[in-house]
Structure 1
Amino acid sequence: FIGSLKRGRRIMAGELDCPFSDGRTIPLEVIATVLNGDTTASCPHEGGEAAGIVFLFRDITEVRRLKKEIVRNQHLASLGSLAAGVAHEIRNPLSSIKGFATYFRERYRDNPEDEKIAGIMIQEVDRLNRVISQLLDYARPMTMQRQEITVQDVIRHALQMIETQAREKEITLQADLPADIPAAGIDPDRMKQVFLNLFLNALGAMETGGILSVALTELPDGCVRIEVRDTGVGIAPQDLGRIFDPYFTTKPSGAGLGLAIVQKIIDAHNAEIHVASTPGQGTTVTILLPAKNQEQGGG
């Protein structure tokens, strides 16, 4: 900005992201204007040195949110009709395939190899059904059933659901959940879906002996910050900006909808989610739930 203004530009405008120590990042519009030393001069340097530069900053968080929402709604409109057709055309034959596979698995129990193949067929049909369910869940409008509930209870429940997988990989689960954090107006089932998805992603990113930690903090403005950290392989810098995009995945068997649904749930809570990652060291996901007086919408 300043360099361009010194080279003769009278007005400069642009956008920047301003990070805060609590993990939030606020997008700002910046307008810089040169003040002339000679008020009769028609350009910045006609009357000698400029008297100064005036900077105007405007919070454009809502503008960016609305732009993103418009794009997402356009995408969902086309995706919704596609999802309904896919569900009808694919689920019916999948049910038949699973039925026959189940029959053959029972019939050939005396033949371990055939029984194993039939079992794999059933597992793959179930996986495809899960993908279809995720597609429908992502495409349909988000309904919210808010309750005044402590976030600690939701996190503990989600942690209990992954204890077995963590134990199998010898991964340590750590939770810092202070009891004095006030209840929040959230949809507990939706938020449990968020935490479960993040925890499972963290487990999948770690080898034997890693650490998955969850920390809960109340910020001075009343917001609640949840940090989920893992000591996994991390996310490549070129992938970091795409992880919430529908269908983006680095997993061979992934559908790429898990984190897209997470983003949708977070948006429905008028909350924020940010991801920081260092390849080879791990990933930190930060969720910022708004203070009660900032909670909006959701039905």
Structure 2
Amino acid sequence: MGTLSILLALGITLAAMRTTRRLEGHFQELYQREALTEMAAQLVHSLRNPLAALRANVKGLLVSPAETREIVDELDRDILSLNDKLSAFLQLTRHRDEAFEPVDIGELVRDAVRLATPALAEQGLSVEVSIPPDMPRPVLQKAAMCDALLNVLINAAQSGQAQGAVQVSVLCQDSVFVTIRVEDRGRGIREQDLPRLFDAFYTTRADGNGLGLAIVQRVLAAHKGWVRAENRPQGGASILLTLPLQQKEPPHWWNKLKKTFPT
């Protein structure tokens, strides 16, 4: 009787776990749909001003034909702005199938710096990189993390820093986490902006689309990491990207259970 009760309890437990797993997946899908719907609504709102400018400029071609060249230049800028917003939105929402693998963190940082150099040079800025020797190799999606760091560096280029270098440093914490810190000496971040800095479509710049740092947060979350922004006491801001060195795998018993009771 005792053995039968144990087997029955085990069967009920396994069935409950299977049902829970299905509910988890269902609620996760609902959450993702709601988040995507909210972002799409924000995108529509964000596109209204560029579209209104396009419409005004098209009418201007009819009213002021003598100013055609200037109006066409403005149309070109507005179209580029729309393209940037849509491209960034696609990057924010796309599903990444890139594999996780051990990555040379120095190589990743140097790749991102190389890509950001033109944007920094345009503002008269350079980059100083500090990476300790013999750094462990965190398990990452390299291209995704390079995109995230590139967005942070471009954000630093637009910080208002007038000269000198943006600082990029890497720190390993207790052989568990690695942190990439990007520091600028710009205008800093207003206290009222800090809580919303990583919200999609939230921007403090007239020419910004508010998606760069939202992409950073999404990439870090996919790596079970986090991103934090803070003001430097000496002026300017720091963005810190903290990542686990290893991506946790589900326990072996859970994988066996999934094979026995597929969802």
**Which TM-score band applies after superposition, normalised by the shorter structure?**
0.5 to 0.7
Change (3 A) 1:200 1:238: same
Counterpart for residue 215 of structure 1: 169
Q: Report the Cα offset of residue 234 of structure 1.
A: 0.3
Counterpart for residue 78 of structure 1: 37
Are residue 200 (structure 1) and residue 159 (structure 2) matched? Answer: no
Change (3 A) 1:72 1:285: farther
Change (3 A) 1:72 1:197: farther
Residues 59-118 of structure 1, C-alpha deviations (whole Å, 9 max, x = no match): xxxxxxxxxx8996354242477699x7xxx9xxx9xx9xxx9xx9xxxxxx9x644542
Are residue 119 (structure 1) and residue 119 (structure 2) matched? Answer: no
What SS does the corresponding residue of 2:198 show, helix, strand or coil?
Answer: coil
Kept in 2, the 8 Å contact 1:269–1:296? The answer is no
Q: Report the Cα offset of residue 168 of structure 1.
A: 3.3
Residues 236-266 of structure 1, C-alpha deviations (whole Å, 9 max, x = no match): 1111011011221101121212211111110
Give 1 or 2 for the bigger CA radius of gyration. Answer: 1
Q: Quick one: distance in 1 between partners of 2:226 and 2:199?
A: 16
Are residue 275 (structure 1) and residue 234 (structure 2) matched? Answer: no
* More strand by percentage: 1
Q: Report the Cα offset of residue 142 of structure 1.
A: 4.7
TM-score with structure 2 length normalisation? 0.68
Q: Which amino acid aligns with 2:99?
A: Q
Kept in 2, the 8 Å contact 1:273–1:287? The answer is yes
Q: Report the Cα offset of residue 269 of structure 1.
A: 0.6
Q: Which amino acid aligns with 1:241?
A: P
Are residue 170 (structure 1) and residue 124 (structure 2) matched? Answer: yes
Q: Quick one: distance in 1 between partners of 2:131 and 2:92?
A: 30
Q: Quick one: distance in 2 between partners of 1:255 and 1:199?
A: 16
Q: Quick one: distance in 2 between partners of 1:172 and 1:140?
A: 32
TM-score with structure 1 length normalisation? 0.60
Change (3 A) 1:145 1:277: same
Kept in 2, the 8 Å contact 1:76–1:139? The answer is no
Q: Which amino acid aligns with 2:104?
A: T
Using CA pairs under 8 Å that are at least 6 residues apart, name the structure with larger relative contact order, 1 or 2: 2
Counterpart for residue 188 of structure 2: 234
Counterpart for residue 88 of structure 2: 134
* More helix by percentage: 2
Residues 204-249 of structure 1, C-alpha deviations (whole Å, 9 max, x = no match): 0123214300001222233111111110100011110110112211
Structure 1 residue runs of 4+, over 6 Å off? 69-72
Q: Which amino acid aligns with 1:248?
A: Y
Taking every aligned residue pair, what percent have the same amino acid on both sides? 26
Aligned length: 208
Are residue 152 (structure 1) and residue 106 (structure 2) matched? Answer: yes
Q: Report the Cα offset of residue 274 of structure 1.
A: 1.2
Change (3 A) 1:71 1:253: farther
Kept in 1, the 8 Å contact 2:88–2:212? The answer is yes
Q: Quick one: distance in 2 between partners of 1:256 and 1:72?
A: 22
Kept in 2, the 8 Å contact 1:83–1:136? The answer is no
Q: Quick one: distance in 1 between partners of 2:205 and 2:147?
A: 19
Q: Quick one: distance in 2 between partners of 1:276 and 1:74?
A: 31
